[in-house]
Amino acid sequence: MAEAPKAVRELAEDATSRKRFLRQAGGTGVAASLAAFIAACGSDSKSMSSSPAATAAPMASSKSGTEQFGAGDLGIANYALTLEYLEADFYAKVANSGMLKGKLLDTARKFGDEEQAHVDALIALIKKAGGKPATAPKTNFPLDNEKSILKLAAPVENLGARAYLGQAGNIQDKEILAAALSIHSVEARHAAVLNLATNAKPATGPFASPASADEVLKTVKPFIAT
């Protein structure tokens, strides 16, 4: 197994650091995920956490993965920010579409507020690390009716959760790792609610399946207005 990233090694070896991480990530709700991640983690990543991220037009670069958003941890953070832009804008448009009523509308607004909080947190984190936040892309979502909205929302949230898991092993900075795992747990809860609403088949197996950046960006590309 390849050596785990520095942030994960420090969490595994330093109890004080681990407790501080859990407080940053929102409490002990992520403890089980963290324990499993530390136990299983291995990475061949050579990312540099201190490299400033240059802002690129989302999905406009020929580079693969998170590289188009910048180098190292800041590139990963801008990749995550771009996904959060998409989710926040999706829920804002859904809430204003007039196609949802009652509890579904309330849920969409709640999820939208949480996605916007993710956007704000990632922007602040990127600026604190000396990077430049990616710009929000223009979006185009097929919002034809309630059924189509739910059909789109469920896989988008599931993909969001898998996207964070797919990058966790590449992150070197503990603060960025804390943010990623904390947001991942929220995306997973959103996905669970929407899976129930759409009667989607639940995922099987004891561990969640990660998604690569290339896979994620290919899936969301149709929703980016060009």
* Three-class SS state of 70: coil
Give the 3-state secondary structure of 143-168: CCCHHHHHHHHHHHHHHHHHHHHHHH
pLDDT tens over the chain, length 226 residues: 445 556 656 655 655 555 555 555 544 444 545 554 554 444 444 443 444 444 444 554 546 688 889 889 999 999 999 999 999 999 999 999 999 999 999 999 999 999 999 999 999 999 999 999 999 999 999 999 998 898 899 888 889 989 998 898 888 888 888 888 888 888 988 988 888 888 877 665 666 788 999 999 999 999 998 7
Give the CATH number of domain 6-223.
1.20.1260.10
Helix (H, G, I), strand (E, B) or coil at 63: coil
Kindly report the CA angle at 25 between 23 and 26, in degrees rounded to 5? 70
CB-side neighbour CA atoms (13 Å) of 154: 18
If you ran DSSP here, which 8-state letter would residue 40 be given? Answer: H
Q: Tens of pLDDT along 149-178?
A: 988 998 888 899 899 988 988 888 888 888
Residue 89 structure tokens: 């804008």
Task: Using alpha carbons, select from 216, 184, 171 the residue that is nearest to residue 59.
Answer: 216
pLDDT tens digits, 184-195: 888 988 988 888
183: tokens are: 């947001």
* Alpha-carbon distances, residue 24 vs 17, 141, 179 (angstroms): 10, 33, 8
Q: How high is the pLDDT of residue 23?
A: 56
Structure pTM?
0.76
Angle value at C-alpha 45, between 58 and 64, nearest 5 degrees? 30
| Residue 204: predicted pLDDT | 59
pLDDT score at 210: 85
Enumerate helices (H) and strands (E) in the chain, giving the number of each. Answer: 8, 0
Contact 52, 61 (CB under 8 A): no
**C-alpha span between 217 and 59 (Å, rounded):** 7
Half-sphere exposure of 149 (CA within 13 A, CB side): 21
Cα separation, 132 vs 225, in Å, equals: 22
